[in-house]
Structure 1
Amino acid sequence: MPVTDVTTDAESLTMTVVADFAAPIERVWSAYADPRQLERFWGPPGWPATFTAFDHTVGGMAQYTMAGPRGERSSGSWEFLEIDEPRGFAVIDRFVDDEGRPLEGFPSLRMTFSFEEAGDGTRMVTTSHFDSIEALEQVVEMGAIEGTRMAMAQLDAVLQDLRAYAQGKGTRVEELDDTHVRITRLVEGPRELVWRAHHDPDLLRQWMLGPDGWEMTECVVALAPGDRHSTSWAPVGETEGEAFGFEGEALLVEAPRRAVTTERMKGTEGPETLNDLNLYEEDGATLITLLIEYPDKGTRDMILATGMADGMEASYARLERDVLVASGR
């Protein structure tokens, strides 16, 4: 985890975040100076940001919106006060509405970002300055500390070349907390085709089969919020096992970038999970990220113990081999 320390100081009315990255200072600077890179980590998992304005000059403004998995929205703006490339910058950070107007009842704060060389990498120190103890406590109560830790944990993937970060590492499972798991897999192919492979029933039947010896017997895809999805599998030939399936509802669909659905096993009342699929392309390769929210730790552990990750790896390998390669990418 890049974040090494988060402290709050009631006397100085500050919150300070210290993070260390295995990348040169110029590379870390560029991640904060480019809105397309910022979007990949400015916001915790499940709340990706979209920057709609970014005037990276003193006196310039940036505006962003973070979208939650159930359609929630939280917007903010930066007013750039100082820019000292590549050593740091300072902004006024505000909570705003969709038109960029400051929200009443929410604090504005001055944030300073400082980058310094630390061995072979870079240390970042971010200090947020508040006008009152009430404003500091309000931001902390809103989950700023844990949200910052989880957001910064995504920066490692941004700072590295995507293939260097994920190629050859298969399906990776990270337990973010008691109820959230992040699953990542790099596949060689453009994002548009990977998206279509997730939403075209004919393509899904070719690869989303888990271990060999299974077939998909039903495939109903949700293409818009409110649509229902339903998939079923059954063993083939001498393969052992019982038929099973999942169903749920699409909550958010932003082709070809993001899709959020609920999911539960057919014939049961639950437990229900929230599945947040994100696709990011770089240089012809696509990083598939699936953030799963479980109702509790027991459900999380029970599902992970089924060997789910192994089945997903078999499916992703089939996606590359039988769908992406066959298409000529």
Structure 2
Amino acid sequence: MPVTDVTTDADDLTMTVTADFAAPIERVWNAYSDPRQLERFWGPPGWPATFTAWDHTVGGRAVYTMNGPRGEKSTGVWEFLAIEEPHRFEVLDSFADEHGKPLDGFPAQRMSFTFDSTPEGTRMVTTSHFDSVDALEQVVEMGQVEGIKMAMGQLDAVLQDLRDYAQGKGTRVELLDDTHVRITRLVEGPRELVWRAHFEPDLIRQWMLGPDGWEMTECIAATEVGQSYRNSWAPVGDTEGEPFGFEGEALLIDAPRRAVTTERMRGMPTETVNDLSLYEEDGATLVTVLIEYPDKETRDMILATGMADGMEASFARLERELLAV
């Protein structure tokens, strides 16, 4: 996690975040001055941002909307107050309605971003200035501290070439907090095909099988919001194990980029929310699944089943059976 320190100061009415990145200052600056790169990390996991306006000049404005897993939206506006490439920029950040008009009753904050070269790369210090203690406390209570930490945790993937970041590292599991897990896997193939492999039953049956010795006995896909899906598996031949299945509903579909579904094991009341996103770069696709569990105990129980190993076997089969042809 690149964030090394978060400090709130009620006397100075500031919140300061310090983060270190293993990338040169020009590369980090580029990530903050390109809306397409910003969209990959501005917003915590599960709330990716979309910038709909971008005027990167002093006095210019940027408008972005963070999109929650259940269709929630939160819009903000940056007004650029200062730009000193590649060392500093400053914005007035305000909550806004869908038209980009600042909302009454929600605190605005002046945010200063500074970038300094270090022997290891770049240190970024972000200082947010507030008009009152109430405004500072309001954004803390809204979860901005944790949101910033989690958003910054996504920037490493943006700063590196995608293959340098993920190739050969298999299925990676990151514990973000007690109830959120992020799973990433780079697959060698275009995003459109990877998306189809997740949502077309004829393709799903060819790779989403977990370890060898299992077969998919039922596959009903959900391709529109509100639809239900069902997947079932059973052991083949001498393979040990009991048949099982998962089912759920589609909460958000944004083909071929993102899909959010609920998931529960057949016959069990426990439900998770699975947020799938696909990002393509130079012919490779980074598959990211953000899973929200109801509690830490459920998270640990499910991870202990060897879920990640089963996913890795499936992803390897996906590359071998579908993407290599």
* Partner SS for 1:317: helix
Match of 1:4?
4
Distance 2:63 2:176 in 1: 28
* Partner SS for 2:184: strand
Q: Deviations over 1:208-256 (max 9, x none)?
A: 0000011111100010110000000011111111111000100000000
Q: Deviations over 1:262-290 (max 9, x none)?
A: 0001122x210000000001111000000
Distance 1:193 1:186 in 2: 14
RMSD: 0.6
Match of 1:159?
159
Q: Aligned AA for 2:169?
A: K
Distance 1:173 1:141 in 2: 28
Q: Normalized against structure 1, the TM-score is what?
A: 0.98
Q: Cα offset for 1:164? A: 0.2
Match of 2:62?
62
Match of 2:16?
16
Q: Cα offset for 1:28? A: 0.2
Distance 2:281 2:97 in 1: 32
Distance 1:167 1:19 in 2: 25
Aligned residues: 325
Q: Deviations over 1:154-211 (max 9, x none)?
A: 1011101000000000000001111000000000111111001000000000000000
Distance 1:117 1:158 in 2: 18
Distance 2:91 2:75 in 1: 15
Q: Aligned AA for 1:285?
A: A
Match of 2:99?
99
Distance 1:145 1:108 in 2: 15
* Partner SS for 2:137: helix
User: Structure 1 stretches of 5 or more lacking a match?
Assistant: none
Match of 2:277?
278
Match of 2:138?
138
Distance 2:46 2:147 in 1: 10
Q: Aligned AA for 2:202?
A: D
Match of 2:246?
246
Match of 1:291?
290
Distance 1:66 1:250 in 2: 19
Distance 1:139 1:120 in 2: 32
Q: Deviations over 1:97-125 (max 9, x none)?
A: 11001111101111110000111300000
Q: Give matches, 1:195-210, under 5 Å.
A: 195-210=195-210
User: Structure 2 stretches of 5 or more lacking a match?
Assistant: none
Q: Normalized against structure 2, the TM-score is what?
A: 0.99
* Partner SS for 1:102: coil
Distance 2:155 2:279 in 1: 14
Q: Aligned AA for 2:230?
A: S
* Partner SS for 1:233: strand
Q: Aligned AA for 1:132?
A: S
Match of 1:150?
150
